[in-house]
Copies of this chain bind each other. A is one copy, B any other.
């Protein structure tokens, strides 16, 4: 297949090393007139490409790299390469993100106005400054504000508000009675405002009784909600996602959750009902948080952890069940030799136990396998 990498992207890099150093407020060593025409990973890049070195551990790659220029964090020593450009900045990551933003082709968005294929309920209010691409459906009472962008095939439910400069990608469904904040981005096929999942369990005498979920979802400003993720409406009041919350793909957020400002949730994480996350919480991928659990401000949860109850503010938790990360690391490491350890200990204890002791005066030292057989 032909490569469709950034080198073919509409807005490519056309800048000299000197201009780039000035743009980033960095210190240049090497030729100021050296042209930079693209950006690439340090191993795979070639002439004309800019790359970056975050920390000492990557510095060794620079000498062998075919890239023409590098952004390096102040304090990281690079081998001298006179013919190439080294731009020293306070933080190579941040500087590199700025360069990426500079050449980001961005999302291909429809022009302002409503595509003729859209179906807008007469009871809806759509700003003339909003951009609605093909096949969007806007329900009664919905409000689409200035400069909101609905890429294509977006469904907006009744009495729902999409705030200024929000972007809803193709296939997004926003349910009834929800609010999407300013500049928030909802990625393809995500669902915000699905019905909450609440039932009084069935008994011998009657089937399950549905608990109507008459609440809503309120998503704050500058959030991102990943592709295929789902956020359910509350039973009462609202499922609340604060400002600047970043949610990855295929994340499930159940009814009545509250997520604090600046929190980050990585892919495939699950929040049960009424989970509360504080501010600036960081959750790794594939984490499960049980119903009613809470996570304090600034806490961090390692990927794949299972949080059963609560995590204190500022703590880093990991493991199954989730516990302080250092303990989890030790215990999960110990798991790797558990069976062998049990065998060895049972053997040693059997040898240490005086032969003449009446067996019924103590628990026998049987191998775990047998005990298990007895138990199940």
Interface residues of A (CB under 8 A from B): 1-6, 8-10, 39-41, 44, 93-94, 96-97, 100-101, 103-105, 107-108, 115, 117, 119, 133-135, 137, 139-140, 151-153, 155, 157-161, 163, 169-171, 173, 175-179, 181, 185, 187-189, 191, 194-195, 197, 199-202, 207-212, 214-216, 218, 220, 222, 224, 226-230, 232, 235-238, 244, 246, 248-250, 252, 254, 262, 264, 266-268, 270, 272, 280, 282, 285-286, 288, 290-291, 303-304, 306, 319-321, 323-324, 327, 330-342, 344-345, 347-349, 351-353, 362-363, 365, 368-369, 371-372, 375-376
Q: Which of A218, A248, A282 has the most CB of B within 10 A?
A: A248
CB pair B195 A187 closer than 8 Å:
yes
CB pair A197 B137 closer than 8 Å:
no
CB-defined contacts of A232 to chain B, threshold 8 Å: 227, 249
Extra A-B contacts (5), CB below 8 Å, given A135-B153, A324-B376, A331-B337: A100-B214, A189-B189, A228-B250, A272-B303, A321-B332
Chain B: minimal CB distance from A201 (Å): 7
CB pair B4 A161 closer than 8 Å:
yes
CB-defined contacts of A320 to chain B, threshold 8 Å: 304, 320, 332, 335
Closest 4 pairs (CB-CB, A-B): A330-B339, A108-B158, A194-B227, A155-B170
Copies in the complex: 3
Give the docked Cα–Cα distance between A201 and B347 (Å).
43
CB-defined contacts of A237 to chain B, threshold 8 Å: 5-6, 40-41, 44
The answer to whether residues A188 and B194 also contact, given A208-B262, A335-B321 and a CB cut-off of 8 A, is yes
Give the docked Cα–Cα distance between A344 and B369 (Å).
15
CB-defined contacts of A347 to chain B, threshold 8 Å: 362-363
CB pair B331 A338 closer than 8 Å:
yes
CB-defined contacts of A288 to chain B, threshold 8 Å: 268, 285-286, 303-304
The answer to whether residues A169 and B176 also contact, given A137-B135, A207-B262 and a CB cut-off of 8 A, is no
The answer to whether residues A334 and B188 also contact, given A8-B177, A290-B303 and a CB cut-off of 8 A, is no
Give the docked Cα–Cα distance between A184 and B134 (Å).
26
